[in-house]
Chain A
Amino acid sequence: MSRGRLVLRKVGWAVMTVFFVITFNFVLFRVLPGDPAKAGVKDPRLSPEAVEHLQEQFGLNKPIFINTDPGPWYDSQYFLYLGALAQGDLGLSFQQKNTTVNELLGTALVNTLWLVMPAQIISIVLGVGLGLIAAWRRGTLLDTGSLSFALFTWSLPTFFLGIVLLFFGSRNLGLPTAGMVTVGTDYDSVWAAASDLLSHMILPTTTLALVLLGEYTLIMRSSVVEVFSEDYVLTAKAKGLTNRQIVRKHAFRNAMLPIVTLIALNLGFTVAGAIQVETVYSWPGLGKLTVDAVTKRDYPVLQGAFLLLAVAVIIANLIAELVYLRLDPRVTEV
């Protein structure tokens, strides 16, 4: 199969997966007991506009999937939902009056990225480095040490590590423990604002980075060991290359292949990790938004957040597969 068609096919699968997730999302919030959409309409705390929008958005009197009554076959809740999604309309929040789900998700997504991106970058760089060195010095004290460390951090529940760091960070280092910025501060300069944000970021970012670091180290180590035992590494050695040259020119890129896939798959995990870290540190991101929506039964927000999280993972996976395609010339089939 030509590589151009391969790319098209991957994109096609991603689109299909998004479609699956949308349908799954629709069914989940419509078919499960408790019927959240109807429950929302009955909620006495709702503003009249929200109820009206809800009625209109969900078409609650219409059939669920396909209209068998007179009228067009697509006049159903499902197609109404698809239509609204196609226009980028995720509805109104139950709880925050006159706020669209889009607005809430947008702000929260940006805040989560502030947390997740630095943590991912730090843990990838450190984990890849540590895994490479551990594999290279296989069997030495350095290897055993980093392996034990990685296994330990892997076994740590993210929220527990968060609480422990919060406990010591706030008591011994005087670091802020909640939110992204100190509420009610007027900053003298951009620098003051930046350093305020940074001091709020230290603990949650460290938590997330430590948890991710263990997994990257473990995967990189086993990937490097595998590549170092390949025949072409022996060829490179026989050619008279130094170990350093072998790693740089022959082993590193090949060993990175599984890491690329892991980074994408990990985005799903990062989101889960972010839910925990944001809960611990009251970080106003997607995770906290999701948890708050659960406790407040704010179903439109929950449904929107869920869709956003799933689509983010699908897109990350697609990117990883395309990167993989560029890195590995052998891939010729799906």
Chain B
Amino acid sequence: MTFWKAMSRHPRGIVGATMLAVAILVAIFAAQIATYPPPFIPEDLGIDDIFAPPSPEHILGQDDAGKDVFSQLVYGSRVSLTVGFAGALISVVVGGMVGLFAGYYGGRLGNGLMRLTDFFLVIPDLALQIVIVAILGPSLNNIILVIGLLGWTTTARLVRAQTLSVRNRKFVSRAEAVGASNPYIIFKHVFPQVMPLMLANMVLVVSLAILSESTLAFIGLGDPTVVSWGQMLYFAFNRGAVSAGAWWVILPPGLAIVWVVLGTTLLGNALEDALNPRSARHYLEKPPPLPPKLEGPVEVPEHAALSIRDLTVTYEGTSEPLVAVEDVSFDVLEGEAVGLVGESGCGKTTAMLGALRLLAPGAKVAHGTVMHAGEDLVRLSDSELRTLRWDSFSVVFQGAMNALNPVKKVGWQLSEAILTHAPEMSREAAEQRSGQLLDVVGIPAERAGDYPHQFSGGMRQRAMIALALAADPILVVADEPTTALDVMIQAQVIELLRRIRSETGSALVLITHDLGLVAESCDRVVVMYGGVVVEQGTVAEVFHDPRHPYTQLLLKAFPDLDDPERELVSIPGAPPRLDQLPPGCRFAPRCPFAFERCNEHRPELVQLGSRREAACYLLESVEVAAGV
């Protein structure tokens, strides 16, 4: 089961589960474990038994009444765990119901229920618990009821959020469409989806309930007919254990509470993490060590803005590294525009982010060189790299919504980029330049004072382009700059890229799956599939005479402006997963021309002319045949 697999990746969860299991076993076998059954007093009780320190007969000593501390501790687990689990059950059932109904029905009922939850959230739990238990009387049932009925708010919020997301899924709307009743849908379709999260939450609520019980007991509101850990501490504290120096009466019950609470917290957190994995890694982690320096010089064409050689990027896998990009090589000359194309998941973005050392944590450049401005970017120190960043190469990131800081004004973000690389510039000058940049991309300069969320999607994209131009870079990498934009805005952005290139003379790498965009705005094309380059050449060469079957099929799947009547044929199947890369040609499983050899060995790139190559055995045989 995937769930258990996920759990096994959380060692803390296993530790927590073990701690909790120990406590449960102790509670079940309390009668067998305890050396002095209730009322915990030795038969020959004497004056020496008062606060007697640990001894072989009483391994944790005795309290003010001569009771055996160890036996009380063992029996105390029953009360703590009973209150914990029973209280949490009530909380989770009540909170779960409120959350389910509020999330499912939404509207007035849902809002009303959530407002009620908000009201209860501001009432100080402990104060209310104290008041109610004081009025109702401190019996175990009352304590459970009060703790249970006051702890449901967090569960309600959590379950509501989860229900809202489940509610919008297909199978729910389908069930509605066939006329299933609401209660039926809630319990048959929504509840099973919300259930795991509720259970994980319940484990956390157990720890809170145990803490509440012990606190109430310590205030003096514990059930006097049973022994609990909180009550042991209440008696210890109020009957002179501190002045008697009897640490053995204080530490064991306190640490027992810590044991159970820590165990449930660890388990609950691990369960939540396993069900709802959040990113645990981030961009500011210490980067992996740089690859060793190269022996000889790297051959680079004249006037190259970027030369990528044998670039290989790997991801950390569960057992061994996964190869995302393998031996990618291509050049971008000064002022040249290169389209990097292929379906999603073919490694285009990973290759470029790898080349510019901007990979997400967990991914790294395994080998290869990236020459830019006379330096090998792969082996440059962090501080040397920083001076090149943006000043010499910049990036228009995919999804400009999140690439701009939401709490900083757009103009500020532009000025920051300018000032970082021109520290001598005054703030006024930088602000003026920011205004000019916005003007270049067609945004009125006075909008510099806006926040990103006040811009439309197209404006944000153009602001991102303005940002990329802030320090007059030699090279701009634009990652899917037109996806998620409507056709009109797409045309504007394309026109903008073209105009800027002609004005500033910077080179451009355009990462896209939109072949039309490449045809319109690029000089050259590099086609990637399954992490490797399969073909490259000028736009004219590749579009009019594609040599690799993948390129041919990719072009057929795309509308042709010269021949709008042509039927579009999509390529069946999907690019390979990184953990299931085919041993031979990466495209062989989807290739209509594949033969035996394609499945066994990966074809090398065949040189077809100056800066023109493709990797396919069909070509080799043709070339070989031609040679003969």
CA distance A233 to B386 in the complex (A): 14
Could you mark each residue 196-219 of chain B with 1 if its beta carbon is under 8 Å from any beta carbon of chain A, else 0?
000000000001000100110011
A271 on the B face (CB < 8 A) = yes
CA distance A291 to B122 in the complex (A): 20
By a CB distance below 8 angstroms, the chain B residues around A242 are: 386
A231 & B237 in contact (Cβ 8 Å cutoff): no
Binds B, one of A47-55, A84-92, A154-162: A154-162
B191 on the A face (CB < 8 A) = no
Residue in contact with B127 in the complex, picked from A138, A245, A297, A309, CB distance below 8 Å: A309
B391 & A240 in contact (Cβ 8 Å cutoff): yes
The chain A residue sitting closest to B418, CB to CB, is: A239
By a CB distance below 8 angstroms, the chain A residues around B420 are: 239-241, 245
The chain B residue sitting closest to A303, CB to CB, is: B131
Interface of chain B residues 416 through 445 with chain A (CB within 8 A): 416-417, 420-421
Binds B, one of A61-69, A102-110, A272-280: A272-280
Residue in contact with B397 in the complex, picked from A33, A163, A234, CB distance below 8 Å: A234
A175 on the B face (CB < 8 A) = no
B403 on the A face (CB < 8 A) = yes
Interface of chain B residues 589 through 620 with chain A (CB within 8 A): none
A136 & B284 in contact (Cβ 8 Å cutoff): yes
By a CB distance below 8 angstroms, the chain A residues around B132 are: 28, 32
Binds A, one of B34-42, B246-254, B483-491, B509-517: B246-254
B254 & A164 in contact (Cβ 8 Å cutoff): yes
B399 & A138 in contact (Cβ 8 Å cutoff): no
A237 on the B face (CB < 8 A) = yes
CB distance from B55 to the nearest CB of A (A): 21
B533 on the A face (CB < 8 A) = no
The chain B residue sitting closest to A276, CB to CB, is: B215
Query: Chain B's interface: helix, strand, loop or mixed, by majority?
Result: helix
CB distance from A44 to the nearest CB of B (A): 20
B281 on the A face (CB < 8 A) = yes
The chain A residue sitting closest to B258, CB to CB, is: A155
A231 & B285 in contact (Cβ 8 Å cutoff): no
B285 & A138 in contact (Cβ 8 Å cutoff): yes
By a CB distance below 8 angstroms, the chain A residues around B242 are: 163, 166-167, 170, 177
CA distance A280 to B404 in the complex (A): 51
B421 & A291 in contact (Cβ 8 Å cutoff): no
CB distance from A242 to the nearest CB of B (A): 7
Could you mark each residue 447-478 of chain B with 1 if its beta carbon is under 8 Å from any beta carbon of chain A, else 0?
00001010000000000000100000000000
By a CB distance below 8 angstroms, the chain B residues around A74 are: none
B588 on the A face (CB < 8 A) = no
Contacts A151-B265, A236-B405; A231 near B284 (Cβ below 8 A): no
Residue in contact with A240 in the complex, picked from B131, B247, B387, CB distance below 8 Å: B387
B389 & A268 in contact (Cβ 8 Å cutoff): no
CB distance from B423 to the nearest CB of A (A): 11
A232 on the B face (CB < 8 A) = yes
CB distance from A244 to the nearest CB of B (A): 10
B407 & A254 in contact (Cβ 8 Å cutoff): yes
Contacts A32-B135, A330-B451, A330-B453; A156 near B283 (Cβ below 8 A): no
By a CB distance below 8 angstroms, the chain B residues around A297 are: 134
CB distance from B356 to the nearest CB of A (A): 7
A157 & B211 in contact (Cβ 8 Å cutoff): yes
A155 & B389 in contact (Cβ 8 Å cutoff): no
By a CB distance below 8 angstroms, the chain B residues around A151 are: 262, 265-266
B284 & A34 in contact (Cβ 8 Å cutoff): no
B404 & A232 in contact (Cβ 8 Å cutoff): yes
A294 & B358 in contact (Cβ 8 Å cutoff): no
B122 & A156 in contact (Cβ 8 Å cutoff): no
B402 on the A face (CB < 8 A) = yes
Could you mark each residue 385-417 of chain B with 1 if its beta carbon is under 8 Å from any beta carbon of chain A, else 0?
011111100110101001111111000000011
By a CB distance below 8 angstroms, the chain A residues around B406 are: 232, 254, 328-330
Interface residue count for A (Cβ, 8 Å)? 83
CB distance from B209 to the nearest CB of A (A): 13
CA distance A330 to B408 in the complex (A): 10
The chain A residue sitting closest to B405, CB to CB, is: A232
A120 on the B face (CB < 8 A) = no
A229 & B283 in contact (Cβ 8 Å cutoff): yes
The chain B residue sitting closest to A32, CB to CB, is: B135
Could you mark each residue 252-287 of chain A with 1 if its beta carbon is under 8 Å from any beta carbon of chain B, else 0?
011000000000010010011001100110000000
B282 on the A face (CB < 8 A) = yes
By a CB distance below 8 angstroms, the chain A residues around B134 are: 294, 297
Contacts A21-B119, A238-B389, A280-B237; A306 near B128 (Cβ below 8 A): yes
**Residue with the greatest number of chain B CB neighbours at <10 A, chosen from A28, A139, A236:** A236
CB distance from B335 to the nearest CB of A (A): 22
By a CB distance below 8 angstroms, the chain B residues around A139 are: 285
**Residue with the greatest number of chain B CB neighbours at <10 A, chosen from A170, A228, A295:** A228
A17 on the B face (CB < 8 A) = yes
By a CB distance below 8 angstroms, the chain A residues around B123 are: 21, 24, 268, 310, 313
B122 & A317 in contact (Cβ 8 Å cutoff): yes
Could you mark each residue 274-286 of chain B with 1 if its beta carbon is under 8 Å from any beta carbon of chain A, else 0?
0000111111111
A268 & B283 in contact (Cβ 8 Å cutoff): no
CB distance from A34 to the nearest CB of B (A): 5
CB distance from B138 to the nearest CB of A (A): 11
Residue in contact with B250 in the complex, picked from A34, A164, A238, A329, CB distance below 8 Å: A164
Interface of chain A residues 313 through 329 with chain B (CB within 8 A): 313-314, 317, 327-329
B564 on the A face (CB < 8 A) = no
B119 & A20 in contact (Cβ 8 Å cutoff): yes
A128 on the B face (CB < 8 A) = no
CA distance A239 to B392 in the complex (A): 10
Interface of chain B residues 208 through 248 with chain A (CB within 8 A): 211, 214-215, 218-221, 230, 233, 236-237, 242, 245, 247
A247 on the B face (CB < 8 A) = yes
B390 & A239 in contact (Cβ 8 Å cutoff): yes
The chain B residue sitting closest to A327, CB to CB, is: B407
Residue in contact with B219 in the complex, picked from A166, A275, A302, CB distance below 8 Å: A275
By a CB distance below 8 angstroms, the chain B residues around A226 are: 278-279
Could you mark each residue 351-374 of chain B with 1 if its beta carbon is under 8 Å from any beta carbon of chain A, else 0?
000001010100000000000000
**Residue with the greatest number of chain A CB neighbours at <10 A, chosen from B266, B284, B391:** B284
By a CB distance below 8 angstroms, the chain B residues around A156 are: 254, 258
By a CB distance below 8 angstroms, the chain A residues around B451 are: 329-330
The chain B residue sitting closest to A295, CB to CB, is: B220
By a CB distance below 8 angstroms, the chain A residues around B250 are: 160, 163-164, 167
CB distance from B422 to the nearest CB of A (A): 12
B281 & A229 in contact (Cβ 8 Å cutoff): yes
B122 & A21 in contact (Cβ 8 Å cutoff): yes
A249 on the B face (CB < 8 A) = yes
Q: List 27 A-B contacts (CB under 8 A).
A: A34-B135, A36-B135, A138-B285, A157-B257, A158-B215, A159-B214, A159-B215, A159-B233, A229-B283, A231-B399, A231-B402, A233-B282, A233-B283, A235-B395, A235-B397, A237-B389, A238-B358, A238-B389, A238-B397, A240-B387, A241-B386, A245-B420, A249-B416, A271-B126, A275-B127, A290-B130, A313-B124
Query: Could you tell me which B residues sit within 8 Å of A by CB distance?
Result: 118-119, 121-128, 130-132, 134-136, 207, 211, 214-215, 218-221, 230, 233, 236-237, 242, 245, 247, 250-251, 254, 257-258, 261-262, 265-266, 278-286, 356, 358, 360, 386-391, 394-395, 397, 399, 402-408, 416-417, 420-421, 451, 453, 467
